[in-house]
Amino acid sequence: DTGVSQDPRHKITKRGQNVTFRCDPISEHNRLYWYRQTLGQGPEFLTYFQNEAQLEKSRLLSDRFSAERPKGSFSTLEIQRTEQGDSAMYLCASSRGRLDVNEKLFFGSGTQLSVL
């Protein structure tokens, strides 16, 4: 396993700009999750995919947020018209889904977004 990869590690943008993050899960992991974490808080669920299907979205995921997972491999999370409140660490995680009865989650190192 090469682990879950996220790119970029850091992103600084100006308010109103669009940003896109990428996540490459562990190969053969069919479930992929996006979480957001602010300083001193635990991760908050945003959305998750089973293969290419987006099965659940949090109410936190406003219309400015969109996530895709074409072909059930890597995933992208796009934030349009960024706001200062979007500043956070965006974490991606994957699991083997039904292949693993434990449903153990593996996290990437995250993308730290700063909106100026």
Give the interface with another protein as residue ranges (CB under 8 A). Answer: 4, 6, 31, 33, 35, 40-45, 48, 50, 56, 58, 89, 91, 93, 95, 97-98, 101-110, 112
* Closer to another protein by Cβ: residue 45 or 80: 45
* Closer to another protein by Cβ: residue 82 or 94: 94
* Closer to another protein by Cβ: residue 77 or 89: 89
* Closer to another protein by Cβ: residue 30 or 82: 30
**Distance of closest approach, residue 48 Cβ to another protein, in angstroms:** 6
What's the distance, CA 13 to chain centroid?
A: 18
**Distance of closest approach, residue 75 Cβ to another protein, in angstroms:** 15
- CA angle 91/4/12 to nearest 5° reads 45
- Pull the structure tokens for residue 63: 């219309």
**Distance of closest approach, residue 114 Cβ to another protein, in angstroms:** 13
């991760």: which residue's tokens?
A: 43
- The enclosing H or E element of 45 equals strand 44-50
- Residue 29 CA to residue 51 CA, distance in Å, equals 8
C-alpha pair distances (Å), 11 with each of 6, 22, 63, 91? 12, 12, 21, 13
**Distance of closest approach, residue 23 Cβ to another protein, in angstroms:** 11
